[in-house]
Structure 1
């Protein structure tokens, strides 16, 4: 059974995205302090990746993200895997998601009249391959041709394995996003572009999010545009800016409010004092059509998004009755 973003939004009005793969794996005892990050577990203990997908389905996510963010062909080959092995591991990320989805659906989802989750295949930026925090900086100093070849084969593999949508995420750079969009159109693939942002208006590389949205308006397969792995306080402003520049549905899945240190690859507590539920409720009210969590979020955050969604839909229902 295939799923589409349009169908989920038609059936549910809004969509709940899952949470962090890395934080959930670390909670299960995995050590991710290496260049392959979550891809280490994809290779060494794939059953745990399946468990994380189910963990988020149980929390109420009706779309999930594959464990392929850090799984790139050059990244895997750099640590000793052959090209063939690298391609197999990238396909495996989708296979595990599809298996987890069908097992959860037969065990729990169908009986609960839940939404059949959609498979978003994570396409991490070139900065993720560099493994030095460049997804929070941009300015890679590589050619467009190199970026094109870095992304294209991985996208082909993810689609071949059965992904329903390509999720080009944590993009610090509009030029990289445009290259990814071009490839998705060449592959006739539905896709999402999600930027990482340094404040309430700009990507980490410095482009205005309004400029980003306007620059991506002529890509027919683009199904959503948004922001991820960004401080929660900035999200309201970013949604407002995106809504001023595009009619596409907006997706947001920020981190939980902690601060990342790319040198130590660790997160420290931020100054956030608003609950994730209250944040998510505001984001839905501001116009986001899909809300979830990125780094340092776990199932409790996604359960809070579900609660926020229910509050928002109740408000919508009351408003319709009063009108």
Structure 2
């Protein structure tokens, strides 16, 4: 028997397909946060990518936990995985590529095992696997993804040269799409958009933002969206790894510039200090800011969001709360 929702995963824009049929797509939560909760030490330049070698079953289990909680899409453990980063840790290029491909395989295996055991085709879509492509700043491991690359000797051509091998490697493992995420720079987004066309790959592109108007390097989000709108292989745009209070105005601006699906997966509400590499409670929070992901759903959907999930410091309980909100009857 054919899967009645096969179109959800096989359409030209699976995010739009899921959002149309189910109200919005539920993205998973933070992989690293859940790995740490389960006992992994991620105090390393490779971050969660190190666990691909040390404890792959742990990553598979976390993906499964998010599917069980209600996620329609898993983001792989490849955010900080690059040949350069692995080589800096003493891992050769061949092994590095194998580990990057493993990140996709683990998510796919978790998805297939979950789907086979549940067969919830009437109530939810068959989940997607999005291969994470973190920014150049993630490789630097110095917080650049939260401020941009001013003063660094790298241009669009250099960024393309950096990203191309990992895109090719991840695509060889056959994810449903790429999650190009936490970009602090429009130049980096344009470099990757060019590569997507060359490689005939589809991806969402999400930026990190400093406030409700601009991405991390200070470029207005409206300018970023206008520059990417119409690129044939960019299937969605949005924001991740950003404070809850900034999400609604960012969505509204993005929606004013594009008809593409909008993907948002903010942090839990805490503030990350890239110097000390510690999270701190926000000192000033607007009274209108959502308390958590589930609290923000209504206003984010009203502003134009198509997919909602969580980034740093969120976990399966946050995703379960999103799924519960989606299951509620429409008012």
TM-score band by shorter chain is over 0.9
Corresponding residue for residue 3 of structure 2: none
Whether the 8 Å CA contact 1:281–1:305 is kept in 2: the answer is no
Give the Cα–Cα distance (whole angstroms) in 2 for the partners of residues 18 and 177 of structure 1.
22
Q: Secondary structure at the match of 2:239?
A: strand
Give the Cα–Cα distance (whole angstroms) in 2 for the partners of residues 129 and 305 of structure 1.
31
Give the Cα–Cα distance (whole angstroms) in 2 for the partners of residues 27 and 285 of structure 1.
33
Q: Please state if 1:22 is matched with 2:35.
A: no
* Higher alpha-carbon deviation: 141-150 or 248-257: 141-150
Give the Cα–Cα distance (whole angstroms) in 2 for the partners of residues 217 and 114 of structure 1.
29
Q: CA deviation at 1:102?
A: 0.4
Query: How is 1:116-135 mapped onto 2 (pairs within 5 angstroms)?
Result: 116-135=126-145
User: C-alpha offsets along residues 69-106 of structure 1, whole Å, 9 cap, x if unaligned?
Assistant: 01011000111011101111110100101111001111
Q: CA deviation at 1:190?
A: 1.0
Give the Cα–Cα distance (whole angstroms) in 2 for the partners of residues 249 and 179 of structure 1.
21
Q: Please state if 1:281 is matched with 2:298.
A: yes
Give the Cα–Cα distance (whole angstroms) in 2 for the partners of residues 121 and 111 of structure 1.
23
Corresponding residue for residue 295 of structure 1: 312
Q: Secondary structure at the match of 2:129?
A: strand
Q: Secondary structure at the match of 2:106?
A: helix
Give the Cα–Cα distance (whole angstroms) in 1 for the partners of residues 119 and 298 of structure 2.
24
Q: Please state if 1:75 is matched with 2:91.
A: no
Q: Please state if 1:181 is matched with 2:193.
A: yes
Corresponding residue for residue 206 of structure 1: 218
Q: Secondary structure at the match of 1:251?
A: strand
Q: CA deviation at 1:143?
A: 2.6
Give the Cα–Cα distance (whole angstroms) in 1 for the partners of residues 194 and 228 of structure 2.
10
Whether the 8 Å CA contact 1:144–1:179 is kept in 2: the answer is yes
Q: CA deviation at 1:212?
A: 0.5
Give the Cα–Cα distance (whole angstroms) in 2 for the partners of residues 111 and 177 of structure 1.
35
TM-score normalised to the size of structure 1?
A: 0.93
Q: CA deviation at 1:112?
A: 7.5
2:277 to 265, 268, 272: 265
Q: Which runs of 4+ in 1 moved over 6 A?
A: none
Q: Please state if 1:37 is matched with 2:47.
A: yes
Q: Please state if 1:101 is matched with 2:96.
A: no
Q: Please state if 1:246 is matched with 2:263.
A: no
Unaligned runs of at least 5 residues, structure 1? 316-323
Give the Cα–Cα distance (whole angstroms) in 2 for the partners of residues 146 and 90 of structure 1.
21
1:234 to 239, 242, 246: 246
Q: Secondary structure at the match of 1:98?
A: helix
Corresponding residue for residue 155 of structure 1: 167
Does the C-alpha gap of structure 1 residues 70 and 105 become closer, same or farther in structure 2, counting only changes over 3 Å? Answer: same
Give the Cα–Cα distance (whole angstroms) in 1 for the partners of residues 306 and 45 of structure 2.
33
Does the C-alpha gap of structure 1 residues 35 and 109 become closer, same or farther in structure 2, counting only changes over 3 Å? Answer: farther
Q: Secondary structure at the match of 1:169?
A: strand
Give the Cα–Cα distance (whole angstroms) in 2 for the partners of residues 103 and 241 of structure 1.
39
Give the Cα–Cα distance (whole angstroms) in 1 for the partners of residues 301 and 153 of structure 2.
37
Whether the 8 Å CA contact 2:293–2:309 is kept in 1: the answer is no
Count of aligned pairs? 314
Give the Cα–Cα distance (whole angstroms) in 2 for the partners of residues 46 and 275 of structure 1.
30
Whether the 8 Å CA contact 2:23–2:326 is kept in 1: the answer is no
Q: Secondary structure at the match of 1:38?
A: helix
Corresponding residue for residue 321 of structure 1: none
CA RMSD of aligned residues (A): 1.6
Whether the 8 Å CA contact 1:278–1:308 is kept in 2: the answer is no
Q: Please state if 1:88 is matched with 2:105.
A: no
Unaligned runs of at least 5 residues, structure 2? 1-5
Give the Cα–Cα distance (whole angstroms) in 1 for the partners of residues 239 and 326 of structure 2.
18
